[in-house]
């Protein structure tokens, strides 16, 4: 399974999303990560299905929609219609996770489960065979530009081991504080999809930053000191 880079448009200029997406696609972005926040599960409010539809019209890369909302069951159909290719939902808000994961798949969308930093990976055991991917949060969700929580590296390793034990084919994605400094380490720990917001859109050249992140993740360029 090859590495995929998923720039998070949360840190892009919302008045120029089309340009932001085109830039990272020139830089080789594999996915466009879209952070949906409801001001309830997380303190921030971002975007909804109409904006995802608009992005879908201009993006060539598949849309990876991360739902940080209290009631995802109510909205998965709308986000599927808006053009999500992948959709992830938080373990913390779903007592009937199995049903939600299968509802996402029934819409023809890849289904992922997300764990917050303090959510134990043991909660993956009984869903590992059903999900297409597991998203490990390496910051507490809600905002871009936060610092990577060091324990996430061990958590990635433990997640890979758990998925292997369960003979799950789920891919591991990591989200939060990913940069040139830790990209190679999270890949070594088992991450196959790297989400990055500030490290890409917080720079003056998101196209270059996308290329650099892939190079750093695959050991091509050393992280600056
Ligand atoms: C955080 C979001 C992330 C965020 C990552 O709540 O889920 O996707 O955009 O941003 P950085 O890479 O800046 O931590
Ligand atoms: Zn995210």
| Residue 10 near ligand 1, beta carbon < 6 Å | yes
What does the mean pLDDT of the chain come to?
A: 97
pLDDT band at 221 (very low <50, low <70, confident <90, very high): low
Please give the structure tokens belonging to residue 55: 């992005």
If one residue of 17, 35, 92, 180 were mutated to test the ligand 1 pocket, choosing by the most ligand atoms within 8 A of its CB, it would be 35
How far apart, in whole angstroms, are the C-alpha atoms of residue 100 and residue 78?
14
Mean pLDDT of 111-116: 98
The reply to whether 35 belongs to the active site is: yes
pLDDT of amino acid 219? 87
pLDDT of amino acid 224? 59
* Signed CA dihedral, 135, 136, 142, 147: sign only: negative
CATH architecture group of domain 4-218: Alpha-Beta Barrel (3.20)
How far apart, in whole angstroms, are the C-alpha atoms of residue 46 and residue 38?
7
pLDDT of amino acid 64? 99
Residue 223 clears pLDDT 80, i.e. is over it: no
Give per-residue pLDDT as tens, 58-94.
Answer: 999 999 999 999 999 999 999 999 999 999 999 999 9
The reply to whether 205 belongs to the active site is: no
pLDDT of amino acid 189? 98
Give per-residue pLDDT as tens, 135-189.
Answer: 999 999 999 999 999 999 999 999 999 999 999 999 999 999 999 999 999 999 9
How far apart, in whole angstroms, are the C-alpha atoms of residue 96 and residue 78?
19
Mean pLDDT of 82-110: 98
Provide the b/e sequence for 203-212 (b: ≥16 CB within 10 Å): eeebbebbbb
Q: Running DSSP on this structure, what letter comes out for residue 18? A: H
């Amino acid at each position: 399974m090859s590495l995929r880079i998923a720039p998070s448009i949360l840190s892009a200029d919302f008045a120029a999303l089309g340009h932001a997406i085109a830039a990272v696609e020139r830089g080789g972005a594999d996915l466009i990560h879209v952070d949906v926040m409801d001001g309830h599960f997380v303190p921030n409010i971002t975007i909804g299905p109409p904006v995802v539809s608009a992005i879908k019209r201009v993006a060539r890369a598949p849309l990876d929609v991360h739902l940080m909302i209290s009631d995802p069951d109510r909205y998965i159909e709308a986000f599927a219609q808006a053009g999500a290719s992948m959709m992830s939902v938080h373990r913390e808000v779903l007592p009937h996770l199995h049903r939600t994961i299968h509802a996402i798949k029934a819409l023809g969308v890849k289904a992922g489960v997300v764990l917050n930093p303090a959510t134990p990976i043991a909660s993956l055991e009984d869903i590992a065979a059903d999900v297409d991917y597991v998203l490990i949060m390496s910051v507490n969700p809600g905002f871009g530009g936060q610092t990577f929580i060091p324990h996430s590296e061990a958590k990635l390793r433990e997640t890979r081991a758990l998925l292997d034990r369960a003979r799950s084919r789920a891919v591991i994605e990591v989200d939060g504080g990913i940069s040139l400094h830790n990209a190679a380490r999270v890949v070594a720990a088992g991450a196959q999809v790297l989400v990055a917001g500030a490290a890409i859109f917080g720079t003056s050249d998101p196209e270059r930053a996308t290329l650099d992140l892939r190079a750093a993740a695959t050991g091509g360029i050393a992280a600056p000191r």
